[in-house]
Structure 1
Amino acid sequence: MEQPAECLQTKHGREYLGLKNVTLSGKKCQPWLSQTPNEQSTIVRLSAFPDPGMDSHHNYCRNPDVDREGPWCYNGEGTNPVWEYCNIEFCEGMN
């Protein structure tokens, strides 16, 4: 099985399926389906993710709300900020 690209193919990164699970400031991402340590203000719709078969342990950077700044995740350390963007480079030839 082919590994997903660890880079963005589009500006918003909606398609990103990589394994990055750390925020810009180096905090580990909280699993998307968890309410701890940070309670999520909205229920994450599984259909908003590009991942087939996403499970409760999934804590990878994603962009389920098509944020214009790209993939992000909830901070899994329980400190502020509650969520942060992830630093994911563009694929070669993309911008």
Structure 2
Amino acid sequence: MGNPDPFVVLTLRKAKSKAKIKNKTRVVNKNLNPDWDQTFGFDVEDGLHDMVIVEVWDKNTFGKDYIGRCILSLTKVILEGDYTESFELVGAKSGSLKLHLKWRRK
């Protein structure tokens, strides 16, 4: 089977409108410990209730396979402004994501 070709789909799920806004990282080929080092921005309407869903996928020739995900609120990010934490991947046999999140007002 070999090493995965992981990529991440980030989704901002807005509490009030139920809208979903998505961004996707690049694929890191054949890597169990990828470092995407990419920046994405979201317009947050309700920082206390909007959620960020981070899903990890394995790209393959005929599509993609789900690896796992983490769901986080933005409360700590808003309070601290600059926030880094490791999150365990739910649904995965093992694994975690280290995320660095920043909050700034427009």
Same fold (TM over 0.5): no
TM tier relative to shorter chain? under 0.3
The structure with higher relative contact order (CA 8 Å, sep 6+) is 1
- Normalized per residue, which structure has more strand? 2
TM-score, reference length from structure 1: 0.25
Query: Is the radius of gyration larger for structure 1 or structure 2?
Result: 2
Scaled by the length of structure 2, what TM-score is found? Answer: 0.23
